[in-house]
């Protein structure tokens, strides 16, 4: 009648005598979209109140940020420049998340991709640009893929928590690149921890008048490919099933271990391409600090986008805009990093708002069962 074993079924939880929270039976489409939007609105409101309370004009600040990120052609292009690595790492991470693999290592995979691509760019003989760049992309992919493979294998064979192993490997990768740029690969004519600059043929072409480099085409292509994989292929389907329930996946005869390794490999590889794009498209050399934490922000981007590749592109642009808009704040003497507060506030509200898609608040005393 009610199932074989005694099941604890509690549908209401009393948060206090006046409010109780009830699990929603359905999730209405409206609330699914509306709640994140309301969260953003609330966060902006919160930010406005905070600014006003500390003596700044909210309108002025928001306008400054907006024009700083999207207000002019140049600003918009710079926003795109910052968005590209977020797009790529966001896409990388979304693949892993789809299968419920917590790849926190996009940062390290990016660095390894940069290292491999940089190695090719610096030490391969002169080749025509398209060939050289293709080799660099492949090298970048391999670098990141290897870095994703290690935690993938550990997880598949032994069951080691991938959140922790990928986090550790980030540091190893950054230190490895540090070793190279302070040591054997250091530019003999320079004083700083850089390598020599890449030659022309090893640099990604840019959109004229901007610094927007070909990395954006990589991002768009990968987004399309991932979308097709998720929506239209049997492999994407299997990943989705495994991500939802490993138990059902084994019942259906799917190969879980093989897919863990494969997905971590590819996820790492895409992050590796992000690394290649940064050093070949913007920085032009290998150096100590390649990424200000793109790999970590990517996690938030992917999560916020609910793993939809195209939404990731848009959200990445939004985050790039926040980053850029922050710099504009320096005009009024505010530190650029302050924009992180607004970013954080928006995200807090969205995270909190998530709960409302799953639960409904009821006023009044609920029974305890």
Partner 1 sequence: MDSILLVAIFHAAIISATPILYAALGEIFAERSGVMNLGVEGMMLVGAATGFIVVVNTQSLMLGTLVAIFAGLLLGLVFAFLVVTLQANQVVTGLVLTIFGTGLSGFLGKQVIGMAAPISYKKVPIPFLSEIPYFGHVFFNHDVLVYIAYLLVPICWFIIYRSRAGLELRSVGENPSAADSVGLNVFRIRYLYICIGGAFAGLAGAYLSLAYAPAWAENMTAGRGWIAIVLVIFATWNPARAWIGALIFGGVDVLGFRLQAIGIEMPSFFVRMLPYIFTIVVLTFITYKSEKAKNLMPKALTIPYDREGR
Partner 2 sequence: MTNPLLNMHNITKKFPGVVANENVNLEIYRGEVHALLGENGAGKSTLMSILSGLYKAEDGTIVINDKQVVFNSPKDSIKAGIGMVHQHFKLVDCLTATENIILGLKHIQRFYDLEKLHNEIEQFTANYGLKVDPRSEIWQLSVGEQQRVEILKMLYRKVEVLILDEPTAVLTPQEVEELFITLRKMAKEGKAVIVITHKLNEVMNVADRITVLRQGKSIATLMKTQTSKQQLSNLMVGREVCLTYDKDDKEIGPKVLSIQNITALNDKKVKALEDFSLDVYGGEIIGIAGVAGNGQRELTEVIAGLRTVISGIITIDDKDLTNAAPRKIIDSGVSLIPEDRMGTGLIGNLTVTQNLILKCFNEAQFSNKGFLHLEYLANYSTEIVKDFDIKTAGIYSPIKLMSGGNQQKLLLAREISKRPRLIVAAYPSRGLDIGATQAIHKILLSQRSEGTAVLLISEDLDEIFCLSDRIAVMYEGKIMGVVKPNEATIDDIGLMMCGEGRAC
Asked whether position 253 contacts partner 2 by CB under 8 A, the answer is yes
Sequence length of the chain is 369
The reply on whether position 23 binds partner 1 by CB under 8 A is: yes
Specify the stretch interacting with partner 2 by CB under 8 A; choose among 147-155, 240-248, 272-280, 291-299: 240-248
Q: Please give the helix or strand (H or E) that residue 166 lies within, else none.
A: helix 162-182
Check: CB of residue 112 under 8 Å from CB of residue 295.
Answer: no
Select from 299, 307, 323, 328 the one that contacts partner 1 (CB under 8 A).
Answer: 299
Q: Does 347 bind partner 1 (CB under 8 A)?
A: yes
State in angstroms the smallest separation of the CB of 74 from partner 1: 25
Helix (H, G, I), strand (E, B) or coil at 288: coil
The nearer residue to partner 2, 31 or 206, going by C-beta atoms, is 31
Nearest to 89 by CA among 254, 229, 215: 215
Residue 224 interacting with partner 1 (CB under 8 A): no
Candidates 232, 306, 358, 360: give the one binding partner 2 (CB under 8 A): 232
233 binds partner 2 (CB under 8 A): yes
Q: Does 165 bind partner 1 (CB under 8 A)?
A: yes
- CA distance linking residue 16 with residue 278, whole number of Å: 51
User: Is 9 one of the binding residues for partner 2 (CB under 8 A)?
Assistant: yes
Q: Which of 290, 45, 32, 323 is nearest to 181 (CA)?
A: 290
The token pair that represents 87 in the structure block: 């797009």
Rounded CA gap, 114 and 99, in Å?
26
Q: Which does 240 bind (CB under 5 to 8 A by kind): partner 1, partner 2, none?
A: partner 2
Q: Which stretch binds partner 1 (CB under 8 A): 25-33, 85-93, 117-125, 352-360?
A: 352-360
Question: Residue 182 and residue 111: Cα distance in Å, rounded?
Answer: 15
In order of 35, 36, 41, the CA distances from 352 in angstroms are 10, 10, 13
Q: State in angstroms the smallest separation of the CB of 158 from partner 1.
A: 5
Give the shortest CB-154-to-partner 1 separation in angstroms. Answer: 6
Q: Which does 74 bind (CB under 5 to 8 A by kind): partner 2, partner 1, none?
A: none
Q: For residue 141, with 0-12 CB atoms within 10 Å meaning exposed, 13-18 middle and 19 or more buried, which class applies?
A: buried
Residue 23 vs 365, nearer CB to partner 1: 23
- Per CB under 8 A, 358 contacts partner 2: no
Compute and round to an integer the Cα radius of gyration of the chain: 23
Partner from partner 1, partner 2, none binding residue 209, C-beta < 5-8 Å depending on class: none
134 contact choice in partner 1, partner 2, none (CB below 5 to 8 Å, kind-dependent): none
Instruction: Choose from partner 1, partner 2, none: what does 334 bind? Cβ within 5-8 Å by kind.
Output: partner 1
Q: Output 123 or 251, the one with its CB closest to partner 2.
A: 251
Quickly tell me which residue has 């992050």 as its tokens: 271
Choose among 47, 70, 61, 76: nearest CA to 332.
61
Cβ proximity to partner 1: between 134 and 161 the closer is: 161
CB 325 within 8 A of CB 64: yes
Q: Which residues of 28-57 are buried (b: 16+ CB within 10 A; e: fewer)?
A: eeebeeebbeebbebbbebbbeebeeeebe
Q: Does 244 bind partner 2 (CB under 8 A)?
A: yes
Burial of 111 (0-12, 13-18, 19+ CB in 10 A): buried
Phi, psi of 311 (to 5 degrees): -65, -35
Is there binding between residue 7 and partner 1 (CB under 8 A)?
yes
Question: Does 240 sit near partner 2 (CB under 8 A)?
Answer: yes
Chain contacts with partner 2 (rule: CB under 8 A): 1-6, 8-9, 25-26, 231-235, 237-238, 240-241, 244-245, 247-248, 250-255, 367-369
Binding site for partner 1 (CB under 8 A): 7-11, 13, 15, 23, 102, 104, 154, 158-161, 163-165, 167-169, 171-172, 175-176, 178-179, 182-183, 296-297, 299-300, 303, 333-345, 347-348, 351-352, 354-355
């Amino acid at each position: 009648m009610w199932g074989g074993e005694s099941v604890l079924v509690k549908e209401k939880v009393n948060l206090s005598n006046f409010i109780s929270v009830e699990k929603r039976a359905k999730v209405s489409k409206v609330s699914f979209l509306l709640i994140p939007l309301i969260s953003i609105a609330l966060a902006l409101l919160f930010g406005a109140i905070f600014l006003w309370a500390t003596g700044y004009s909210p309108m002025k600040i928001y306008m400054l940020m907006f024009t700083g990120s999207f207000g002019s052609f140049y600003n918009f292009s710079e926003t795109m420049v910052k968005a590209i690595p977020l797009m790529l790492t966001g896409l990388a991470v979304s693949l892993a998340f789809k299968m419920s693999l917590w790849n926190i290592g996009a940062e390290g995979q990016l660095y390894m991709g940069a290292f491999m691509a940089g190695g090719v760019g610096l030490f391969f003989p002169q080749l025509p640009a398209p060939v050289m760049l293709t080799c660099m992309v492949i090298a970048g992919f391999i670098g990141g893929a290897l870095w994703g493979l290690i935690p993938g294998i550990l997880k598949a064979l032994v069951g080691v928590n991938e959140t922790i192993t990928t986090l550790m490997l980030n540091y190893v990768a950054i230190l490895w690149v540090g070793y190279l740029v302070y040591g054997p690969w250091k530019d003999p004519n320079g004083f700083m921890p850089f390598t020599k600059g890449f030659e022309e043929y090893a640099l990604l072409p840019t959109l004229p008048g901007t610094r927007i480099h070909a990395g954006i085409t990589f991002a768009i292509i990968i987004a399309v490919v991932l979308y097709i994989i998720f929506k239209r292929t049997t492999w994407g389907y299997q990943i989705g099933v495994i991500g939802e329930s490993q138990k059902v996946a084994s019942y259906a005869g799917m190969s879980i271990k093989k897919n863990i390794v494969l997905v971590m490999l590819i996820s790492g590889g895409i992050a590796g391409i992000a690394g290649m794009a940064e050093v070949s498209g913007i920085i032009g050399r290998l150096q100590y600090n390649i990424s200000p934490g793109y790999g970590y922000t990517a996690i938030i981007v992917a999560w916020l986008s609910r793993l939809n590749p195209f939404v990731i592109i848009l959200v990445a642009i939004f985050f790039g805009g926040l980053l850029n808009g922050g710099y504009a704040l320096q005009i009024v003497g505010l530190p650029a990093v302050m924009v992180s507060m607004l970013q954080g506030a928006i995200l807090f509200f969205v995270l909190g708002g998530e709960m409302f898609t799953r639960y409904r608040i009821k006023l009044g005393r609920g029974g305890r069962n």
